[in-house]
Each structure stands twice: as C-alpha cells, then as structure tokens.
Structure 1
Amino acid sequence: MSSTESFASRPSLGKIVVVGGCGFLGGHIVNLIVERHPQTSVAVLDLRTSSNRNSSPNVSYHDCDITDLPGVKSLLEKLRPDGIIHTASPHFHLPPAIQEKVNVGGTKILLQAAQEAGVKAFVYTSSASIILSPATELINGDETYPRIYGDAQPEYYSTTKALAEIAVLEANRMPPSFLTTAIRPAGIFGEGDIQLLPKMLSAYAKKQHRFQVGDNNNLFDFTYVGNVAHAHLLALYALLQTHSMLPTIPLDTERVDGEAFFITNGQPVYFWDFARCVWHHAGDRMPLSKVWTLSEEVAMTIGGILEGLFWVLGKTPNLTRAQVKYSTMNKYHSIEKAKRRLGYRPIVDLEEGIKRGVKDLQEKERQEREKKGQ
C-alpha cells in the first residue's frame, strides 16, 4: 500500500506548519493540503505573510523570522505541530551572507525548535543543484552522487542548500521520535513562478526567442510546481506513517526518514525545446528555420562582455557565462528512488504545466496593464 493510499482516507493530518508558505512552492503546498485534507490545521510561517494567502478557515498566518531562535521556539511551542514542511529560502542572487544566515542558520534553528516542540515529521526543500558541478554533466544523476559544496561549488546558494540538507538528515531520529527527510526538486516552474517562466516570457517580448545557444542536444530537467508540492506531501505522509509504527524501523530499501529524494517531471527534454514550448503557448509561431544558433564559444564571449558592462551598472545581464554553460550541458536526474519509496508519480505532465504557468503569468500581466490604465 502506498503512502498516498494510506493517508487518503484520513480527514486530517493533524497540525502542519509550512515554513515559507507564502512563497511560490510553499503556497502550492498549503493549497494542496487544504484540497486533500481540508480538516488539517495549517499554520504558515513566513517573514511577511501579506501575500499568496489561502482563504480556508483552517489556515493561519504568522510573521516569523526563522533566524530568530527565541521567536521560532516561542511560536512552535505555542503551535505544537505534528509536522513541518520547510520551503523558505532567499533568492539565489542575494548576498552570500543572507543565504548563509537563512538557509543554514535558519534551518538549524527550525530543527532545534522542532525537536524541543515534539514535532514528529520534518520535510526539507533541498535542491537538485547540490550535486551539480560546472565541470561535470548530470546524466540520470541519482542519490548516490556526492554533494558538491564549499570550494568545489561555484554557486554559493547550492553550498548553503547542501549544508542545510546535511543538518536536516543528521537530525533524523534525534530524538528517536523526530523523523526528517529532504526533497531535491529540479527547475521548478508553474503558476506563481517569479524566476524561470518570467525570464523566458521577457526574452520572448524582447524578440530574443529568435536565437538559441548551442545545438540543442542536451537534456534538461524542469519540474511543474504542483508535482513538487505533491512529492512534499508524500514525504510528509511517509514520515507520519513511520512515526505511527515506532519503535519499528523500516527496511533500508523502504526507508524515507534520513533520506533525500530527487523530484522531477520524469520527462527530461532538450533545453531549447522547453523554451520554445513556453514561447509557443505565449503565442510564438516562428518556424525553427528562422532561429539563429550561436555557438557556445561565441555566446561565452558575449556573456563575458555583457557581465563586465552590467557590473559597472550594478546589474545582471540577460545572458551570462553561467547561463550559457547550464543551457548547453546535460542535466537530468533519476526519480526511481522517489517512485519506489514515496510512491511518487508526476500528476501533471510537462506541457500541461507549461500551459498553466504561461496562462497564469499572462493573466497577471493583463491585470497589471488594466490597473495602470485606470
């Protein structure tokens, strides 16, 4: 029996805290809990809880800085949740000090407060990028791959996510009734997206869809946000189920607590095919014969020049050397472990997710134009 089947008939999961629940992924997780288990008591913790709110009477909102230990301890002591889903993370373009403070320091504070408050299940949103190195392509990468952090990892954001994941998994069964797991999503997009789809639609508006970098023979993972939310709930279900059977410990081949899981759509796609699908749903009908292809070498040169020019202005250009590298390399993962142990299967396919995400962004842009026209 899968975790989904085990918990589907339960009217409530108890008290669940979603940290970062006003954010992109966190908001989808809150909505999915309300949809599947409307009697569950959900408390959303976020730095600011004024946006992306669910109207269910069983959802409460609490402004909270997760880097404030006394504040977090006081709130969790009051809420006494059964489970925590921790999605909060600063944007990867923010200064390293902020990333370190929130991703590493904030996660450790949440773990300490959760342990002291008697929390049963702790699900952490990690990142697929923690095994990514610019020097090595990922071809069906799985959980046996080592984390790459510190001096070997040029993206400081990925280092902080790796260190936070280590802290989460090391806290598993400390005490024995405290169970933890980590979800590693890759390339999240969908409704409410503020990074991936907006950049692609901006490129389309600027006619930059007429170009591509490289020969488009590299496979890449993109993951619809609803599937990532689904995976987090499966992980929560599994931990709560395991907790209900304590002190019994699952077989290593079935275990979820203390483990990490890659989550994708299970549909690796050529990088520029994804972009062109986004542009198609935005209205693009340009034939491929009209697309200009830039070699990786030429694009690297252009990216370096633009980075230098924009650095003077204190800005980041649309084309950087890192973007060139990542858009021309293979980067996709295996989700077999998540299938076996979580019962995970994507619930929305790639094109449907793109369609939903583009429609949502276009509707928001239309509303913004109308607002400005008033």
Structure 2
Amino acid sequence: MAPIPSSQKKPLGNVMVIGGCGFLGHHIVAQLVESYNCKVSVIDIRTVRNRRDGVQYFDGDITSMESLLPIFQKTKPDVVIHTASPQLHGGSKELYRKVNVDGTRCVIEACQETNVKALVYTSSASVIHDNASDLINADERWPIIPAKSQTEYYSQTKAEAELLVLSANRSLTNPSLLTISIRPAGIFGEGDMQCLPPIMAVYANNQTDFQLGDNTNLFDFTYVGNVAHAHCLASLALLTTSTMKIKPLDTEKVDGEAFFITNDQPVYFWDFARAIWKACGSEKGTEHVWEISQDVGLMIGGILEWGMWVVGRAPKLTRRQVKYSCMIRYYDCGKAKRRLGYRPLTGLPEAIEQSVKFILEEQRVEREKKGQ
C-alpha cells in the first residue's frame, strides 16, 4: 500500500496498538503511519521486533492493570486497537484464558479509566464455527458457538473476549466508549508464522504429490494487509460515530457490532496451496496428485496421533488437519463493505506472490546467518 500524502490523510488522533510488534499488529502500525494523520504508540510484551521510526514502544503486560494503566495515562489514546493474543496452536488453556479473556477485561477497564473514545478488538471468524460443519457464505447473523459445543478452546476464549468488548459499548457507566469487533478469516502474509510456512515446507520437502479430499471445498484465506486496513477503517468509523449528536440507524451503525473480514475471494483449498507452491518455484500441475478421501485421511490421522502419542512426538498429520483440508469454510464480508467502506486492497494472487517472496528472503537471510 503506497503512502498517502499528508494533506489527504484522515485524522485518528492518538492511536494505541496493543500487540503492535506481532504479525497483524505491525501491519496495522505500518498503515497508520503511512496512511493516517495520527500519533502511534505500541504496547507489547516485548517490543524488540517489527519496530518503526516515529512510533512510541512500551513493554507491558495486558493482564496487569499495574502495567497497563500507567502507559494509557502517559499516551492518552483516543483509539485503542487490541490485537494481542497467543497463537491458535501450541498455547495452553491457562494462557488463552489469561490473555484473551482476562487481558481483554484489563484493556477495557484501562480504556474506561482514561476516556478512550474507540476500542477495536481483533476477534476471529472461528467464533461461529464448531470446526466440523461446513460454513457456506456465513455472515454476522450466525450465532456464536456456545462453550459446551466449541471444540477449540482458543475460539471459545476469543468469543468470550468479543462479548466483553461489545458489552462495553456505550455502557451505562462509560457511555462515551465505543467498541467494535473485527473477525478475520484465515490470515496470511508477510511475517506469518502459522499459515504459509507449513505449506511452503511441504514444497521444500517435496511432499506435494497428494491431497486430502477432492478439492471442491471453498475456503477463505485473507491477506494481512487487508485485515489491517479493516482495523483502520473501523477506528475511523468509531471516531466519526463518537462526534455524532444522534445515534445512527441500526442498518448503519458500527459501534457495538462485529464484522467478518475476508479477501472476498474464497478459493478451493488445494488451489491455494498450489498457488503458494508455484510462487515457491513449482512447475507441476495436478496430474501427479494422489487423492486421499476424507475417511481414509481421518483413519490415517487417528493412527498417527495414537502412535506419536505413545512415543511422545507430534504427528505430521492429525484428524483436525484432515477436517480443515476437506471442509467448506467461507464468509460474507458484505456488512463490512456496506458499513465500514471495506474493500480488499490486495487481491489473492498478488498477496500470495509478495508474501511468499518475503518469507523466502527471510529464510535465505537466516541461512546465511547460520553459515549454511
């Protein structure tokens, strides 16, 4: 995204990005610096990476009011964008609850105590998914999966945190705080550690000769730059709303609302993987591919899970991975388009190309550092 001339930048005042050194957070910081008229500060548990000139950085723990509140009092943010969260995989239940729920509760309290006008929360599209059923063009009318039916504890805690944030909108005790929840679907991009690197590793290990399922399942993958753009638009929409003397119509309101954000380009699951492999240098088509049915994949995944559990190692294929590879999962981002003015800035082919190029360069530099 090219920087916007200063005379054309829209004002956002003082903006605090929580988790601003992380994957999504640092992309949000970059867009704020390049495209908006604002003063940007960042809170992260450690602010040693992904730093930008002209931004204030603070090491802080969002689960501690003693850590959080003094930073808010010093920076006096008008807008807080809360992206901090453990990764989807590898965290404990205790960590997910502490950061996603307890940490978000502290962020809300700090916003209320320091007269923040707008709080933008990064939720997840997974809050409406049971991780088994197909989602076909799902929108915000779909209910959040109740805790007893949610198989991903991460998604359960993101849903709880979202409810806290949206309940804080125009509360009786703090009516001036406006809140919004952004639900990205399948984020990937530069700095990505969860989506692209494992798919790229499949190509690097020459393991592209099979697929799970028949590749007729559409799936949403969303470029991180577009998700960052949506957060900035949400911030601007909340600030605009805060200056209105009357509440907007229900069909127009943004505060107290959740919004799905996608690339608006659902793609067949294995087509996405093959586009990544092509960007890595693959010239293969699909004639060599061995198709493994979902039922067979689930059986193999179950055997590997049990066998690796016995020897204390992680399996290379799990039943969860099989289900995700075969399910339909895409969303309707029409509400964000209508109310936030959202449109993806970067299409899927371009996003894949530049993201893979970035990661390959990072890997090359890392190899050189190790003298390989």
TM-score of the aligned structures, taking structure 2 as reference length: 0.95
Shift of 1:209: 1.3
Q: Determine the C-alpha separation between the residues in 1 that align with 2:111 and 2:305.
A: 43
Q: Determine the C-alpha separation between the residues in 2 that align with 1:53 and 1:231.
A: 21
Q: Which residue of 2 aligns with 1:201?
A: 200
Q: Which residue of 2 aligns with 1:338?
A: 336
Shift of 1:317: 2.5
Structure 2: gaps of 5 or more residues: none
Q: Determine the C-alpha separation between the residues in 2 that align with 1:321 and 1:257.
A: 39
Amino acid at match of 1:178: L
Q: Determine the C-alpha separation between the residues in 2 that align with 1:313 and 1:72.
A: 43
Q: Which residue of 2 aligns with 1:116?
A: 113
Q: Which residue of 1 aligns with 2:134?
A: 137
Give the superposed CA RMSD.
1.5
Moved more, 258-267 or 291-300: 291-300
Q: Which residue of 2 aligns with 1:226?
A: 225
**Aligned counterparts, 1:1-374, within 5 A:** 9-10=8-9, 12-37=11-36, 39-55=37-53, 57=54, 59-92=55-88, 93-174=90-171, 175-245=174-244, 247-373=245-371
Q: Determine the C-alpha separation between the residues in 2 that align with 1:23 and 1:270.
A: 28
Structure 1: gaps of 5 or more residues: none
Q: 1:371 to 1:135 in 2, by over 3 A?
A: closer
Shift of 1:287: 2.2
Q: Determine the C-alpha separation between the residues in 1 that align with 2:9 and 2:358.
A: 32
Q: Deviations over 1:26-45 (max 9, x none)?
A: 000000000002x5211100
Q: Determine the C-alpha separation between the residues in 1 that align with 2:325 and 2:12.
A: 41
Shift of 1:371: 1.2
Moved more, 127-136 or 107-116: 127-136
TM-score of the aligned structures, taking structure 1 as reference length: 0.95
Amino acid at match of 1:316: A
Shift of 1:339: 0.5
Percent of aligned positions with the same letter in both sequences? Answer: 56
Q: Determine the C-alpha separation between the residues in 2 that align with 1:129 and 1:204.
A: 27
Please give the secondary structure, in 2, of the residue aligned with 1:288.
Answer: coil
Shift of 1:11: 5.7
Shift of 1:10: 4.4
Q: Determine the C-alpha separation between the residues in 2 that align with 1:282 and 1:228.
A: 24
Q: Determine the C-alpha separation between the residues in 1 that align with 2:139 and 2:39.
A: 35
Q: Determine the C-alpha separation between the residues in 1 that align with 2:311 and 2:62.
A: 33
Are 2:12 and 2:235, in contact at CA under 8 Å, matched by a contact in 1? no
Q: Deviations over 1:64-114 (max 9, x none)?
A: 010011211121122110000000001122001100000000001000110
Q: 1:141 to 1:11 in 2, by over 3 A?
A: closer
Are 1:192 and 1:361, in contact at CA under 8 Å, matched by a contact in 2? yes
The number of equivalent residue pairs is 365
**Which contiguous aligned blocks of 4+ residues in structure 1 show a shift greater than 4 angstroms?**
none
Moved more, 281-290 or 313-322: 313-322
Shift of 1:248: 1.5
Amino acid at match of 2:333: I
